[in-house]
A and B are shown apart, each in its own frame.
Chain A
């Protein structure tokens, strides 16, 4: 399964509601996770099984979706959210999306 993330680059203001998209080439059956990777750091798990928040992750992060289309939403963008976000499917094989780089405007 191939994953297409959009946009590749997103610039938003502090406090904005931000939505990142991930589309699969086939049905992912909700086996979709999201990772945050800050510059020079390892990826950090944010969301798994489409909408389950990983322990310790702020509640401003949420996930949704079904079938082939999934979304990561940040309800109120904070400066520390600057990072690249990757989606990841584990329904059929293990593949990552190409990432969305999130910047502060």
Chain B
């Protein structure tokens, strides 16, 4: 059974940093591109970042370029999101998701809440 379990969320002040982790199991992690998707409170979904199966390529939405870094450790089957210079508008639930067929997110974690507030 595919499982994605996020951790590392919480309350953080504007301008500070936070690192999210996503532990994967139930599939061959290093065969899949992975992503982070966020959802602001009572809002829709937004793709945040994607990393290729081997970590050689990364992609970001414009609003997080230069502030967020996606990475992975295939030996540990773990995905990360380093978030720096956080802003109030980054407040959201962050989901770890697997890129399956044709770029579709086919499995998601349960999500972790990040609140950016003073």
Spell out A's residues near B (CB within 8 Å): 31, 33, 35, 41-45, 48-49, 54, 86, 88, 90, 94-99
Contacts and interface: CB of A to CB of B under 8 A. Distances in A.
B44 A49 contact: no
Contacts of B82: none
Interface in B75-118: 95, 100-111
5 contacts: A43-B105, A90-B102, A94-B47, A94-B50, A96-B44
Given A33-B104, A88-B104, A43 B45 contact: yes
A35 B104 CA distance: 10
Most buried by B among A31, A44, A48: A48
Contact of B45 (A41, A45, A96): A96
* Cβ-closest 6 pairs across A and B: A42-B108, A90-B103, A94-B47, A96-B45, A48-B104, A98-B44
Contact of B102 (A48, A86, A96): A48
A22 to B, nearest CB: 12
Contacts of A86: 44-45
Interface of B: 44-47, 50, 95, 100-111
Contacts of A41: 110
A54 B46 CA distance: 21
A97 B44 contact: yes
Contact of A54 (B95, B106, B109): B106
A48 B101 contact: yes
B44 A43 contact: no
Nearest to B103: A90
B111 A42 contact: yes
Nearest to B111: A42
B103 A31 contact: yes
B102 A94 contact: no
A49 B102 contact: yes
